[in-house]
Homo-oligomer: A and B are copies of this chain.
Amino acid sequence: MMAEAETINIKAPVKLTKKDFTSDQVVRWCPGCGDYAILAAMQTALPMLDIPRENHVFVSGIGCAARFPYYMETYGFHTLHGRAPSIATGVKLANPHLTVWEMTGDGDSLSIGGNHFIHTLRRNIDINIILFNNEIYGLTKGQYSPTSKKGLVTKSTPYGSVETPFSPGELVIGALGSFFARTIDTNPKHMADTFIKSVGHKGTSVVEILQNCVIFNDGTHDLITSKDTKDDYQLLLEHGKPMIFGKEKNKGIKLNGLKLEVVKLGENGITEKDLLVHDAYEADPTLHSMLARMQAPAFPVAIGVIRAVKQPTYNDLVFEQIENSKQKQKFKTVNDLLNSGETWIVE
């Protein structure tokens, strides 16, 4: 089965260029913030899509990440903290031909916006949620977020946080999400590629970006992203490919009963054939959930499209109902409606 993610019309950037997607606003993130790379990746990706500029709408909530729309020369709406999924839903239902992006932070979408997030996923509204996960509230100057590691000392947790962080991927799957991918602010090509795939997916796409906040949570993703360790702690998933990783490409992921395990190729007779082969399009979420859950240092962290399952979208179903009901329209005009049912004439 070929998923939508693969069928998207990718064309050479003939008409539009990165510059066409760059607005005249001064970018106001802290120097060194991972958000710059995300912006650049987006501005690189969009010209590769066969979508007119005016059909892109960037909706965001509140947070550092949520400043994103100001910097894109497209339609943009910087809304309320946590409410971007609902605004985006309205935009998509008003005009399903638009490509709707939701740019959001871990606080914006998983803390105050958690409910809209899970309901959007359940409904499978065809929007692309780009989740900047810096595991901190950046804009409010450094409180722990629902993805902060347990024990983290922040302004609001001087004794260390006692909360277990959400695993965005698991939450997405628990909320019946049809698309989940993970990428990294230090890998521009992979980001751009993932954005394109998210557009290709019909339904709610969630792209988690491991993003570094240099000011309030510097280095939180270091183990996964830094030059020295990344090969050992990133598992680059590609559909149809075996799950191999490691500096020497000699480690792999194997299923052991209902658990995953890291194995070494060559050791104990393990060969590539023993490894799991990634199937992003499998409807059953069991393995996707396990992959999303993998955490360093016990496991490598899965990067790439973990899940991309074709499921009817809310917007398609609504417009189908609209079309179908037009076949058996009860009233032609509002005047007909007003004059329907029991009426009487006074002379």
Residues of A within 8 A of B (CB): 111-115, 118-119, 122-124, 146, 159-160, 162-167, 170-176, 255, 258-259, 284-287, 289-290, 311-312, 314, 317-318, 321, 324-325
Assembled-state Cα–Cα distance A111/B123 (Å): 12
Q: Are A166 and B321 in contact (CB under 8 A)?
A: no
Q: Assuming A114-B118, A166-B176, is B286 touching A325 (CB within 8 A)?
A: no
Assembled-state Cα–Cα distance A209/B174 (Å): 19
**Which of A124, A146, A164 has the most chain B CB atoms closer than 10 A to its own CB?**
A164
Q: Are A314 and B163 in contact (CB under 8 A)?
A: yes
Whole-angstrom distance between the Cβ of A186 and the nearest chain B Cβ: 28
Whole-angstrom distance between the Cβ of A24 and the nearest chain B Cβ: 37
| Copies in the assembly, this chain | 2
Q: Are B255 and A118 in contact (CB under 8 A)?
A: no
Query: Could you name 23 residue pairs across A and B whose Cβ atoms are closer than 8 Å?
Result: A111-B119, A114-B114, A114-B115, A114-B118, A114-B119, A115-B115, A122-B165, A159-B324, A162-B314, A162-B317, A162-B321, A166-B175, A167-B176, A170-B173, A170-B174, A170-B176, A173-B174, A174-B174, A174-B175, A255-B258, A259-B286, A285-B289, A286-B286
Q: Are A325 and B159 in contact (CB under 8 A)?
A: yes
Task: For A160, list chain B residues within 8 Å (CB).
Answer: 321
Task: For A118, list chain B residues within 8 Å (CB).
Answer: 114, 118, 166, 171
Q: Assuming A115-B114, A258-B287, A259-B284, is B159 touching A176 (CB within 8 A)?
A: no
Nearest to A286 among chain B residues (CB) is B258
Contact of A289 among B119, B146, B286 (CB under 8 A): B286
Assembled-state Cα–Cα distance A254/B122 (Å): 29
Whole-angstrom distance between the Cβ of A131 and the nearest chain B Cβ: 15
Whole-angstrom distance between the Cβ of A81 and the nearest chain B Cβ: 13
Q: Assuming A124-B164, A170-B176, A259-B286, what are 20 further A-B pairs, CB within 8 angstroms?
A: A111-B119, A113-B115, A114-B118, A118-B171, A122-B163, A122-B166, A123-B163, A162-B312, A162-B318, A164-B176, A164-B311, A167-B176, A170-B173, A170-B174, A174-B175, A255-B258, A258-B286, A258-B287, A286-B286, A286-B290
Whole-angstrom distance between the Cβ of A153 and the nearest chain B Cβ: 12
Task: For A287, list chain B residues within 8 Å (CB).
Answer: 258
Task: For A289, list chain B residues within 8 Å (CB).
Answer: 285-286, 289
Task: For A146, list chain B residues within 8 Å (CB).
Answer: 119, 122
> What 10 A-B pairs have minimum CB-CB distances, sorted nearest first?
A174-B174, A115-B115, A162-B317, A114-B115, A258-B286, A171-B174, A159-B321, A170-B174, A123-B163, A258-B287
Contact of A284 among B119, B165, B174, B258 (CB under 8 A): B258
Q: Are A175 and B164 in contact (CB under 8 A)?
A: no
Assembled-state Cα–Cα distance A213/B112 (Å): 32
Whole-angstrom distance between the Cβ of A286 and the nearest chain B Cβ: 5
Nearest to A313 among chain B residues (CB) is B162
Task: For A317, list chain B residues within 8 Å (CB).
Answer: 162
Assembled-state Cα–Cα distance A286/B259 (Å): 8
Nearest to A174 among chain B residues (CB) is B174
Whole-angstrom distance between the Cβ of A56 and the nearest chain B Cβ: 26
Whole-angstrom distance between the Cβ of A268 and the nearest chain B Cβ: 22
Nearest to A112 among chain B residues (CB) is B115
Nearest to A282 among chain B residues (CB) is B258
Task: For A174, list chain B residues within 8 Å (CB).
Answer: 170-175
